């Protein structure tokens, strides 16, 4: 199967995982939020990632020592697909962790309205915003 086809499948699969995450949050079903969206879905994407890495192995120049080397590495479609699947798996995993941590920290689920879309679209930014909100909440509790 071509990398472009797998790219489309991976994207649809990741969106379905985010839908499971949102459904788990809305219905208060921890197994849906934590197990399905937070563990099994990212693990399945990780299998695709590993297969894409195997397909890319030795197929491109480059490395990780400089930005130029990384650009060369991702000139291979299989390596680029693997990199994209890396984002898909980790962003979903982090989104599910944030949702669970929101509950553990006794934060309002309203916090998730800006944080989860940011995590979906710009992973580390959503992660950062969540920690800022949690820090502000802790400081408010301490006063």
Residue 62: count of CB within 10 angstroms of its CB: 16
pLDDT at position 123 = 93
pLDDT below 50 — which residues of the chain? none
Per-residue pLDDT tens digits for 51-82 = 999 999 877 788 889 999 999 989 999 999 99
37, 92 Cβ separation under 8 angstroms: yes
pLDDT at position 143 = 63
Report which of 64, 67, 115, 56 is spatially closest to residue 91, judged by C-alpha positions. 115
CA distances from 33 to 51, 53, 66, 95, 98 (A): 26, 28, 38, 10, 10
Q: What is the pTM of this model?
A: 0.91
Report which of 45, 37, 128 is spatially closest to residue 86, judged by C-alpha positions. 45
pLDDT at position 60 = 74
CA distances from 134 to 1, 82, 114 (A): 44, 32, 13
CA distance 61 to 100: 40
CA distance 18 to 26: 12
Residue extents of the structural domains in the chain: 3-142
56, 78 Cβ separation under 8 angstroms: yes
């Amino acid at each position: 199967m071509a990398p472009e086809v797998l790219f489309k499948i991976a994207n649809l699969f990741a969106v379905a995982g985010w839908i499971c995450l949102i459904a788990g949050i809305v219905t208060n079903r921890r197994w849906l939020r934590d197990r399905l969206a937070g563990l099994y879905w990212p693990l399945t994407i990780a299998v695709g990632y590993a297969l894409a890495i195997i397909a890319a192995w030795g197929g491109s120049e480059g490395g990780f020592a400089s930005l130029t080397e990384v650009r060369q590495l991702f000139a291979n479609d299989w390596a680029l697909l693997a990199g994209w699947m890396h984002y898909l798996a980790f962003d979903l995993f982090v989104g599910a962790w944030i949702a669970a941590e929101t509950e553990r920290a006794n934060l309002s689920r309203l916090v998730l309205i800006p944080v989860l879309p940011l995590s979906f679209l710009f992973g580390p930014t959503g992660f950062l915003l969540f920690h800022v909100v949690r820090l502000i909440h802790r400081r408010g509790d301490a006063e």
